[in-house]
Chains A and B, each alone.
Chain A
Amino acid sequence: MSQNGKSETFLLEMNGICKSFPGVKALDNAQLKIRPHSVHALMGENGAGKSTLMKCLFGIYQHDSGEIIFKGNPVSFSNPRQALDNGVSMVHQELNQVMERSVMENIWLGRFPMKGIIVDSKKMYADTKEIFNNLNIDIDPAAAINTLSVSQRQMVEIAKAVSCNARIIVFDEPTSSLTEVEVKHLFSIIRKLRDEGCGIVYISHKMEEILEISDEVTVMRDGKWIYTGNSKDLTFDRLISLIVGRELTNRFPPKKVKPTDEVILSVENLAGEYMPTVIDATFQLRKGEILGVAGLMGSRRTETVETLFGIRKRKGGRIFLRNRQIENRNARESKANGFALLTEERRYSGIFPTLDVTFNSTIANIDRYTNRFGVLNEKKMKQDTKWVIDALSVKTPGTKTKIQNLSGGNQQKVIMGRWLLTQPTIMLLDEPTRGIDVGAKYDIYQLIIECAEKGNAVIFISSEMPELLGISDRIMVMSNGRVAGIVEAKNTSQEELLRLAARYL
């Protein structure tokens, strides 16, 4: 024990962890050292590598190089089960639960207490109750998961982590869906676990929370370790500069034409019917403008553009296109109004993986290729596909190649091309550069800028602040479903954006 009461030996050490995915180095010599009896905050921007590092620890990913030392012994878990058995557990951000089954069954799944061949429900109930009592959780162990609120489900996951007698417990953004009272409760649980000797890894974007709950902080950026230090020596501003800390280089094509003052799209009090939803968003888009949209995970940027595009049910608000009120009740109507949406989940709702480049290029525009008998004009389709390939410099062996055989960046270009063929007035882009390499990113920036310079308008969602600052005219920052502010890109900073992003948390 040192003077400040902290143990000198580490419970968990992760040293020099590297992990690459095709085209991306997700972790580059990352390190993390956790003491017993301490809460260790892990911070960084979206994509800094926090979750990847934790998945390497938990055996969901296998790291390429580096060592993990747990309780003095080198370990490498090959699956979550092993990690759990050895006392490393994780409260996942996406709650992985069997919704239809009871609380206690979810907690003991995979290791039910048995009495002969019968699952010992009484013991399961009693054990669950005991853990709940110990943690001051007031939930009926026999209740079905789908009758619980999200915060209660979170408590169940925490209880599950505790039930494994875990020494290391990772919390991945646990408070993103909790109210203030619930956060207090969570913190009391975390402190209790800490006092019992656990090492807690706490991942969050919320600075105040971090400064309140944590003993130590580690900051990551671009997959690298940046900083580790005591929380009490840190201030809010120092933390932000550590997290952002990067200089903007010339990674963006120049934008020659300035947007005009003519407003083409005006959105007033936009709100959706079902949760999670955008709340009361009001903004305008000028001719030739790129409006960047910044926000943390869960800030509902995707929900905003999807509501605008009509694939989520709109509850309130008005949309004006060139001073004419429009409804955009569904994707067809929005398309007819000149909207195009590049969705966030490329694999899920973007590409048709087993079909060829021609199909993927022309599908959104298919009405324009039919003659009066309803027969498709294949020659015209091929021409347009060739245009997509040339104009967007798609690297593909030909028009008949299945799109799943192209790289992610090239797939994204084809989908961009698909929507450009519809000649949209309003282009909605949801994370168009996610998971693609730097070269392809530059091409996509250029396409976005060209699209705006032709007199259209673009809404550009991104989690990467540098690119938002690099190509947007203005940036709208969303926080917890609300518009936290709209700022001029050239007069703002990452610090201001982060502060706005945390405004309604």
Chain B
Amino acid sequence: MNIIASVKKKLETKSIKDLLINNAIYIVLVALFATIVAIDPTFLNIKNFGFILSQSATRMIFACAIAGPIVLGGTDLSAGRLIGFAGLITASLLQSPDYVSRVFPNLPQLPVWLPILLGMVICGLFSLFHGFLVAKMKVAPFIASLGMQMVVYGLMSVYFDAVSNSAPIGVLDNRFTSFAQNGINIFGFRLQFIILYAVVVVAIVWFIWNKTKLGKNMFAIGGNPEAANVSGVNIVLNMLAIYVLAGLLYGFGGALEVARTGSATNALGQSYELDAIAACVVGGVSMRGGIGTIKGIITGVLLFQIISYGLVYIQVNPYLVYFVKGAIILIAVVIDTQKYIKKK
């Protein structure tokens, strides 16, 4: 009788431990949320959710983009600078036609989609080259993307200096800013268009990951490149496609970011890749490759946004916010490592 009870107990504790480990991040999210609400119940306000979602929108796009190279077993440190470059280009081409100090005074008013597309294409090309370095030339992704980061920053700064003498590019075309900032009010909840764009991008990436050959191959390459090769997967081509997809999304997200904030300098996008990587990791994307879900990534992004917004809302010292964010990253990585560590 005693034995049965002890075995039963052992089984239960084991499954509870597994349950905690597998859902740690959701538990942290709920706990944090509860703490914030307990300290200041006014946080539970539909307006706040509108703000948090609007601020998360571009971050979701960046996180979904960078997750591709991470699932492949690499990383992408050039993301932030590419985002900034795309933003800078769209901003410089979409200033208000009434503004006398435009950087391109003789430029006719362009349709909004054209500069956005241009930014996406440029980012796509940079990422294509980046993917070539990693997939074909077998450069370690960390180093390749570090080099790309500097190259892109150099080029965007030269561009910035040449067109505007390093003065911030502002006073954007009304059509452009409203493209992102306009929205509809639903019972006090402000649904900005930017949130809808993010939802569309997330849906597309989810579709690619889960429903297409490219997505399946991506997981196979990241999970076991040898098995993928023996099964006849074209590793180089699939990796290139994932990198290009990431580049296109950096470009689109960069344009939205500028439209949201209203101005651009060459500092735009700096270290955005670290936030995106952190959100992915916290959301369960393994830095070893082969593992990750869109659901997890979105949770990761929201978690960080709620921390940033919520802790400031309850007037925690802003420096402490960094501490909390860092601690959450470390906890997430430790849990991730424990899951996959091979005991011997």
Contact = CB atoms under 8 A, between A and B. Distances in A.
Contacts of B108: none
A99 interface: yes
B224 A110 contact: no
Interface in B297-344: 343-344
Given A84-B232, A109-B216, A112-B216, A97 B227 contact: yes
A80 B228 CA distance: 11
Contact of A98 (B215, B223, B232, B343): B223
Contact of B290 (A98, A111, A274): A98
A111 B343 contact: no
Contact of A119 (B212, B226, B233): B212
B100 interface: no
A248 interface: no
B232 A119 contact: no
A81 B343 CA distance: 34
Contacts of A313: 343-344
Number of contact residues on A: which range applies? 20 to 34
B343 A273 contact: yes
A176 B19 CA distance: 34
A101 B232 CA distance: 17
B344 A100 contact: no
Contacts of A121: 211
B206 to A, nearest CB: 13
A287 interface: no
A84 B226 CA distance: 16
Q: Is the interface of B mostly helix, strand, loop or mixed?
A: helix
Contact of A105 (B216, B291, B343): B216
A257 interface: no
B14 to A, nearest CB: 16
B212 A96 contact: no
Nearest to B343: A274
Q: Is the interface of A mostly helix, strand, loop or mixed?
A: loop
A111 B216 CA distance: 11
Given A110-B231, A111-B232, A274-B344, A100 B212 contact: no
Nearest to A113: B213
A306 B216 CA distance: 38
A312 interface: yes
Nearest to B291: A100
A382 B26 CA distance: 58
B230 A119 contact: no
A96 B230 contact: yes
A96 B226 contact: yes
B195 interface: no
B216 A312 contact: no
Number of contact residues on B: which range applies? 20 to 34
A100 B227 contact: no
B153 interface: no
Contacts of A117: 212-213
Given A110-B231, A273-B343, A313-B344, A98 B213 contact: no
B227 A109 contact: yes
Given A119-B212, A274-B344, A100 B290 contact: yes
Contacts of A312: 344
A98 B344 contact: no
Given A109-B231, A110-B228, A100 B343 contact: no
B220 A109 contact: yes
Given A80-B232, A274-B343, A100 B226 contact: no
A99 B226 CA distance: 12
Contact of A110 (B212, B223, B232): B232
B243 interface: no
Nearest to B230: A80
Given A80-B232, A110-B231, A110-B232, A99 B224 contact: yes
28 contacts: A81-B232, A84-B232, A96-B224, A96-B227, A98-B220, A98-B224, A98-B227, A99-B224, A101-B220, A101-B223, A105-B219, A105-B220, A109-B217, A109-B227, A109-B231, A109-B233, A110-B233, A111-B232, A112-B213, A114-B213, A117-B212, A117-B213, A118-B212, A119-B212, A119-B215, A306-B344, A311-B344, A312-B344
Given A99-B290, A109-B220, 8 more contacts: A81-B231, A98-B224, A101-B219, A101-B290, A109-B216, A109-B233, A119-B211, A119-B213
10 A-B pairs closest in CB distance: A110-B232, A110-B231, A81-B232, A98-B223, A109-B231, A96-B227, A98-B224, A274-B343, A80-B230, A118-B211
